[in-house]
Chains A and B, each alone.
Chain A
Amino acid sequence: MTELLEFLRQLFTDPFGLLDIPVREWVTDAVNWIVRTFRDFFRSYISPPVRGVMELFQWALSSVPPLVFLALAYVIAWRAASWRVAVFTVIAFAFIGFMGVWDQMIITLSLIASAVFFCILIGLPIGILCSRSDWFYTLVRPVLDIMQTTPPFVYLIPAVMLFSIGNVPGLIATIIFAMPPMIRLTNLGIRQVETQYIEAAVAFGSRPREILWKVQVPLALPTIMAGINQTIMLSLSMVVIAAIIGAGGLGLEVYAGLERLNIGQAFVGGIAIVLLAMVLDRVTQGLGEKGPASRAKRSE
């Protein structure tokens, strides 16, 4: 009788004390198990290609003399967007150089380039698969939600445990964080292709693969480009966080400035990141609007 009274009392005053779900312990155990079991695998099979791509970009970008870099940036921005964007691009890069963070900018740019490279490499096929199978998409969606909403700090620690500190875990965290829009928008873009075009392709005897590459992907390209644009922007927002676990570049400049309470240093890094973001945004947006598919859409 007293036991029952005691139970009821606790039910009203402290109901959650009655049961303890040890998620904390489960996760710790799980992560420890994953790290113990897969560390060697990750370090010997995942790290090298990621680092290789990253170093290749870094080598390529840093071996271009700054003046040639500016000229190339001008031409690319002009072809992709407009001469206004091109002029802005040159001014922005020059300003970054004059602030004295050119080398850091090159590192950040190669980090982003590698992250975007892997996001497209993995995200595009997954996005295409999602668009072709409702079943697969329902499976992928919660994973994307987790990738996008989990605070990056949470998976920085396991990333470090698996890959140790440096550019690679930073890059891996960036890829995880920046990939969802690529998948989502690829899926959306392909699903949005009007059925009349699919029907026409089918009526001329196209195989599913021909429909995909000759009709669906080209027509989804503006949306896919928007996904790439989002991916770039999200990667940029990760550079400072990635610096906490040892990634270099402009993020490190900001992080180091904050640690030493050196406001000026932090701001220089911050301004450079913003300028880089603006340039990349305008250029990739221009790229998405240039194709004939989007031209047709605008004239409708």
Chain B
Amino acid sequence: MQLIQKYEEEMALVRGWAGWMGVALLAVALLGAPWLLRGYQLYIANIIGIKIIVAIGLNLLVGYTGQISLGHVGFVAIGAYAATHFVTALERAAFFQWLGGPFWVALLVGGASAAVFGVLVGLPALRLEGPYLSIVTLGFGLAVQQILINWPAVSGGRIGLFVPTPRIGPWWLDTDRSLYFLVWTSVVLLSLVAFNLTRSHVGRAFVALRDSDIAAEVTGVNLRYYKTLAFAVSAFYAGFGGALEAYVIQYLEPTMFNLYESIYYLAMVVVGGLGTIPGSMFGATLLSLLQFGLSRAQEYLPVVYGAVVILVMAIEPLGLYGRWLKIKLWSKTWPL
């Protein structure tokens, strides 16, 4: 067992040689994947990366701050449409040509616009809890979809919107491989941000709010600020993921952002492990792989999918990450 002597060691993101080995293996796997996987497998890898980003954002809200969201796909939709319109409108502006195309700004714009709506949804959350908050967020998700359906100027209506191909300077990101690097660089960066956030005073404030908001307020945590911040950060991740999704699929249609999707995101977070960043990754990867992998199972997919979710919850209430921690502990103390 490792002896921790300093606060920095306790806070370190990667601990010991095993940790660094793991990071190195992961890096090799991520960098090797685009040369090992074939076209549609890369596409699936890209979709999984996007789901991971959204799931991490949702976990910050649900797992860390204890605020439930049943309409998270609304933020994803806002991010997707905001980024698409931004990039379409500014594609010809000289300033952005000089920056190498507006697409990466568009990703931030997608995230930021979702964050603004995150704050708006977060405001009622100051007074609402549990089932009441669920209904507000549920309503938000449904409203966003209905507004998009009925506002063709924004959504292209049911004809949908075709998304321009992103580019950095002279490079067009029009292959699965180039999109893979875009998506997975985003996954790595946003995961690091999330890790650091949870280790900072902000993350601790979130957890304090979740465990008891009265106690948190007594100890000096600004309830209003941190609750709305949690919504804003979470929505930013969702919006960013939505913008990436727009680029990867290159087509947007309001029915893509339905209630089922919100439920799937929540399932990813819960199956993976509430209040853990790696858990979001595990959950998003497992449930997305199930969806794609079982497309052959056809009409039995919902049954299999539901059974897996129930099974994971029954065997491991802490989610996949909880199981992983147990395995890790077991291997460390082995052969005891």
Bound together: no
